[in-house]
Structure 1
Amino acid sequence: MNIAAKYTLLVRGITLNTWIPFYFLQSLVINFSFGYSFSLLHTLAFSCLLFVLWRVAPRLQKGVVAICSLLAALYFPFGMTYGSPNFNTLLALHATNFTESTEIITLFPWYSYLVSAAIIVSGVIAQRRKITPQDSWRRVDILCLVFCIACLFAVPVKNLLKWGHFSLMDTGYPVFRFVKDVVINNQEVVNEKARMLELSRQKDSWQVLIVKPRYQTYVVVIGESARRDALGAFGGQWDNTPFASTVNGTLFLDFIASSGSTQTSLGMSLTRVVDGVPHYQDNIVSLANRAGFRTWWFSNHGQIGEYDTAIASIAKRADEVQFLKKGNYEEGEDTRDDSLLQMTAQVLSTPGPEPRMIVLHLLGSHPQACERTQGKYAEFVQSKETSCYLYSMTQTDTLLKQLYQQLQKTGDSFSMVYFSDHGLTYKARLTGGQYMAHGDQYQENYQVPMMVISSDDKARRLINARRSGNDFLYFFSDWTGIQAKSLTPDYQFVSEQAAGPAWVTNFKLEKIDYSQLPSDLSEAGVN
């Protein structure tokens, strides 16, 4: 009898021991899947939590494992590319249409989905564990429970000692952090959209002092996801921008975008910002309107609603607005940037007495780049996606050339500015699956091209002084000859005059010093 009992305990002990490393592995994968930095402490704590739950409520434990495994599997490809949920990722989710969503899904490397499948399989295996009667609590069970509780308080207590703030909401458990970050950041996005809607109903507060435009027509071309070192005209090693590399005009070789994402970057660049908060009603379009300009906004991006994104809120201030995509499921066609030239041709064919401003918002080099180029590329570099990305710069360069020719044919004086909203980051580097994605951790995420081409340019001028997208509104005021009471620049934008340090806004809406960011050139592996 004793021998049989000992044998039974031994078998159960071995079985138990096989589940301990299994739960630890699950906890480890879940930690990484949600995009957080590795924490051995909380990985062990979550493993102990699963162990304790199995002892006291095995069916509840199975439910927790099922939910966590499903969330981890769904988010893993996003977490590896974009990190943990933050304001930017939730804002992008709100502002992304169906076509862009499917493109993002197909952008991730195939092996990320293999890992997601493995996570699902591990969750299924955990569900198949048989529930058996449990013995009374042992010392190891109590120790695991105490450890779980202690880890629950670890980060809150640390914050209390360091910052004087205590909240259990700050616990470091990855699953809890994921849910909290999604809920809180989503609410912040909802609140921001509500604020934009409120501001969209308000009149602008511009007080225009002087209007002295030098040109009859002004064109603002907003590029998308153009990393500066990918353009030959701006120091890139590829000869992929023949127009920008030869045309007379002013090129800024150290222009830094405001942020690493479209909505935040353009929200900070095109509007008046007070204490770090964009006032969307005071933007380049409403300023031009107030100065008596006729304004147009043509976009190849999706319009989810009237005013529910920063860009839509700004665009709707124009006298005439057209979006090639409406941003709903029924309109998921892939439209090309050069379709916008049909709209500019129509505007330019009907001259008027007032000065005019046309804004073009390109889809440009938005991932997936091969969707922009229909799979075409001029030179193979590292991967097909990287090659398409470089060729997408050529497509934008060609569009700028065609637009320039349209402006020349009118016979009117004109000036055109081109810049991109943000750069990108290399992912899956040094592999055949290398691709580009949004990021906020490297300088290259903010390094973008900017150039000004005017009808009276007689030579090429290169500006090496650092310029920030946060000061774009000051440039716009000087460029268009519109002086307003609240626009008082500290330096001459189109010059080599020093402008002081540049700061950028990361995905968590934190203001950081651009110069303190590392470069990814040493890791990119693009030759």
Structure 2
Amino acid sequence: MRSLLRLPPLFVLGSYLLLSLVPCVPLLLGRPAPGLGAVLGLEALLWIAAWGMFQRPAWFHWLLLPALLALPTELYLFMYYGQGISTHHLGIIAESSPMEAMEFLGNKIWLMAAILVAMLAWWVAILLAARRSPQLTWRGKTRWLAVPAIAALAVLGWPTPTPVFQQAPFTFNNFANSWPFGLIARGVDFYNERRYLAELGMRSSNFTFKAHQAAPDNEPEVVIMVLGESSRYDRWSINGYDRETTPLLAQEPNLVSLTNMITAVSATRLSVPVIISRKPAMQSLKAGFSEKSFLTAYKEAGFKTWWLSNQISFGEFDTPVSVFAKEANVIQFMNLGSFNNRSNLDQILLGPLQQAMHDPAPKKLIVLHTLGNHWNYSERYSKEFDKWQPSLFGVDKPEHTNVKIKVELNNSYDNSILYTDWFLAQVIGQLKESGQRTAMLYVADHGQVLYDGSCAIAFHGHNTQYDFHVPALVWYSDQYQSHYPDKIKQLKRLRKARLATENVFHSLLDLGDIAYDDQHLEWSFLNKQFKPHKRYVDSYGWTNYDNATFKGDCREVIDKGTPLKREK
């Protein structure tokens, strides 16, 4: 026992104990940690199993390097987003370019580098201490008996009536929530998602909506779907904001703003598939979807389809968004790899849009995937839109985590909305010039928090009303209204209805008067059969948005009841 109390063994054991207590971090932040007892119990079993298999820490410590390097990220995500590293976060890392990562971190890139060096130094120090700790060597035959015994305990449960251990601790969720071992499970989950997405096109190749226009004719018809990015409902003056951020849209008589649209999850790669397909909101955290998107339904109905994007195409590893984009007849990605100041403004989509409008195909669906109001906000617009100052326009690598730039950040965000107003007005202008039966649907994928009041957080990925309540609108030509008067009548009637991005797929097909097998017109806000449905958002589980309170200046969404569990 005295030998174990010497400095090197204590340092090794203390370091491993600190690593094992990472799942307790939510408690330190005043948040619940469900299943913590089972997770800690499983960690104890895994440590003993590793020790028994490798005999001494010096021989398995190298396996812990990824966990130590990932530890700062795990703690950061717990502090600011209420959860640790997930498959979703690994996907964002894989789908982000180095320049985008540097832009996101700003000047904190050097702090992050210093932290990583410190973590590496800690790992080396533990390794050296482990090599100087022969006292920690597990000798004898007992270590070989420990592994099967522990496996039995993990699967069958502890032989004790203690409530914490009444169930077997070895479940995939408990393993994934443990630390450092859970990082393996998350990596496996991420690999499975990548493989699933790679195979998704083949798996859904035979899928068909059997779609057709309900009353086809030979008249030209154009439907445009604009996917907004990081836009917040209450920063649009057409929705009541005191700054005139949408002066051009306000002049459009044939425009209807949908005032109560929410998104289920505040991340592009998870929210967009719910918008463009029939993927249920509460499956948005799952990889892929076995059906195709509205692009295929429009193609089946005789429309030529375009996917014009100012976001990034990822080549070898398809994202949950680009896997759907591949369904289009014409695909153009205009962004060459980052959100930095060398990326394009959304106006780069206007040229390809004009080419698509001049295409001889009489029926067209054109999707415009914009950068919208994505951080860095000041790089989403040109100088003439830098109306509200001081702003971040021209500032090199500002940090969105720096509350000291709250005023500049908010002014830049409003300026980016002003530019979005101009961009949408240009799209509408092209539709007007065509003199055809045309309509445009715009919806944002998620919103933003902007240091509101005393709220100390910004950006997105949080559990706030500002993340979930998004702007959405429909514009239609006079020709469209003359041809589909009932649809416009219902649209105006339902402008204040409780809507979610789950409604968009059904409504967009209704906008093109497209019928298909197993259609659900009760989900379309252009149809008299419309019925409201329960709306859930990813806030500490699946929270009923319409049975929630909005806590504090952050407007944190808290279910008055018990949130439904997330499906893994």
Normalised by the size of structure 1, how large is the TM-score? 0.76
Report deviation, 1:219. 1.4
Partner of 2:266: 260
Of residues 201, 207, 216 in structure 2, which corresponds to 1:211? 216
Aligned to 1:3: none
Superimposed CA distance per residue, residues 498-524 of structure 1 (whole angstroms, 9 cap, x where no aligned partner): 73333346499x765333555366237
In 2, Cα distance between equivalents of 1:32 and 1:427 = 24
> Is the CA contact (8 Å cut-off) linking 2:155 and 2:169 kept in structure 1?
no
Residue from 520, 527, 534 that aligns with 1:502 = 534
After superposition, give the CA deviation of every residue in 1:40-81 in whole Å (9 maximum; x if it has no partner).
Answer: 99679979969x969972523653564532232465555655
Deviation at 1:278, TM superposition (A): 3.7
Q: Indicate yes or no: 2:407 matched with 1:401.
A: no
Q: What does residue 170 of structure 1 align with?
A: 174
Q: Distance in 2 between matches of 1:514 and 1:293?
A: 36
Counterpart CA distance in 1 for 2:9 and 2:289 is: 57
Q: Is the 8 A contact 1:90 1:186 kept in 2?
A: no
Shift of 1:313: 3.2
**Distance change (3 Å), C-alpha of 1:84 and 1:196:** farther
Could you say which residue in structure 2 is the equivalent of 1:513?
544
Shift of 1:251: 0.6
Contact 1:81 1:437 in 2 (8 A): no
Match of 1:362 among 347, 367, 370: 370
2-side partners of 1:273 and 1:168: how far apart? 24
- Match status 1:300 vs 2:301: no
Contact 1:99 1:332 in 2 (8 A): no
- Is the CA contact (8 Å cut-off) linking 2:310 and 2:369 kept in structure 1? yes
Q: 1: CA distance between counterparts of 2:300 and 2:127?
A: 65
- Structure 2 segments unaligned to the other structure (5+ residues): 391-404, 482-487, 557-568
For 1:308, the aligned partner's letter is D
Conserved 8 A contact 1:463-1:495: no
> Could you say what secondary structure the match of 2:515 adopts?
strand
Distance, in Å, in 2 between the alignment partners of 1:397 and 1:289 is 30
Which of 406, 411, 418 matches 2:435?
411
Note closer, same or farther for the CA distance 1:355–1:20 as it changes in structure 2 (3 Å cut).
Answer: closer
User: SS at 1:448's partner residue?
Assistant: strand
1:210 Cα deviation after fit: 3.5
Asked if the contact 2:354–2:430 (Cα under 8 Å) also holds between the matched residues in 1, the reply is: yes
Match of 2:559 in 1: none
Q: 1:309 maps to which residue?
A: 319
Structure 1 residues 491 and 313 mapped into 2: Cα distance closer, same or farther (>3 Å)? closer
| Paired residue secondary structure (2:181) | helix
Which runs of 5 or more residues in structure 1 are unaligned?
Answer: 1-8
Partner SS for 2:215: strand
Q: 3-state SS of the aligned residue for 1:211?
A: coil
User: Aligned partners of 1:56 and 1:239: how far apart in 2?
Assistant: 69
In 2: Cα distance, 1:11 partner to 1:484 partner: 71
Letter in 1 for 2:466: E
- Secondary structure at 1:239's aligned position in 2? coil
Alpha-carbon distance in 2 for matches of 1:513, 1:214 = 43
Residues 104, 267 of structure 1: alpha-carbon distance in 2 compared, 3 angstrom cutoff: same
Name the structure 2 match of 1:126: 126
One-letter amino acid matched to 1:293: F
* C-alpha deviation, 1:475, in angstroms: 1.0
**Which of residues 493, 516, 519 in structure 2 aligns to 1:484?**
516
- In 1, Cα distance between the equivalents of 2:219 and 2:552? 40
Which position in structure 2 is the counterpart of 1:4?
A: none
Question: Following the alignment from structure 1 to structure 2, what is the Cα–Cα distance between the partners of residues 165 and 25?
Answer: 20
CA distance, structure 2, for counterparts of residue 136 and residue 204 of structure 1: 63
- Which residue pairs with 2:444 in the alignment? 420
The residue that corresponds to 1:180 in the other structure is 185
Tell me if structure 1 keeps the 8 A contact 2:466–2:555. no
1:220-369 to 2 correspondence within 5 Å?
Answer: 220-248=225-253, 249-273=255-279, 278-281=289-292, 283-305=293-315, 308-325=318-335, 333-348=342-357, 350=358, 352=360, 354-369=362-377
Give SS of 1:338's match: helix
1:388-430 residue CA offsets vs partner (Å, 9 max, x unmatched): 3332222211101122222223333422111112224558995
Q: 1:42 to 1:242 in 2, by over 3 A?
A: same
Comparing 513-522 and 309-318, the one that deviates more: 513-522
Q: CA deviation at 1:445?
A: 2.7
Distance 1:244 1:32, change over 3 A: farther
Inter-CA distance 112–515: structure 2 relative to 1 (3 Å threshold): farther
Mapped to 1, the partners of 2:474 and 2:234 lie a distance apart of 18
Q: Which residue of 2 aligns with 1:5?
A: none
Partner of 1:6: none
Distance 1:173 1:320, change over 3 A: closer
Instruction: Give the Å deviation of 1:488.
Output: 3.0
- Note if contact 1:467-1:502 (Cα within 8 Å) is conserved in structure 2: no
The answer to whether the 8 A contact 1:315-1:321 is kept is yes
Q: CA deviation at 1:211?
A: 3.2
- Over residues 271-294 of structure 1, what are the superposed CA-to-partner deviations in whole Å (9 max), with x where a residue is unaligned? 24489684443x322222222223
Distance, in Å, in 2 between the alignment partners of 1:170 and 1:354 is 55
Taking structure 2 as the reference length, what is the TM-score of the superposition?
0.71
Q: Which letter does structure 1 place at the counterpart of 2:350?
A: L
Contact 1:31 1:175 in 2 (8 A): no
The answer to whether the 8 A contact 1:95-1:304 is kept is yes
Q: Could you tell me how far apart the structure 2 residues matched to 1:22 and 1:293 are?
A: 62
d(CA) in 2 for partners of 1:203 and 1:45? 45
Separation of aligned partners in 1, 2:115 and 2:555: 24
- CA change 1:485–1:69 in 2 (3 A) is closer
- Say if 1:321 and 1:106 are closer, same or farther in 2 by CA, change over 3 A: same
Q: Which residue in 1 is equivalent to 2:475?
A: 453
Q: Are the structure 2 counterparts of residues 208 and 408 from structure 1 closer, same or farther at C-alpha, using a change threshold of 3 Å?
A: closer
Could you tell me which amino acid in structure 1 is paired with residue 263 of structure 2? Answer: A
Q: Deviations over 1:183-229 (max 9, x none)?
A: 12431342243123432475654355433699732211110121223
Q: 1:180 to 1:237 in 2, by over 3 A?
A: farther
Note the aligned Cα RMSD (angstroms).
Answer: 5.1
CA 86–197 in structure 1, closer or farther in 2 if over 3 Å, else same = farther
Residues 18/314 of structure 1: CA separation in 2 closer, same or farther (3 Å cut): closer
Report the Cα distance in structure 2 between the residues aligned to 1:352 and 1:245, rounded to whole angstroms.
32
- Please tell me the residue identity of whatever aligns with 1:342: G
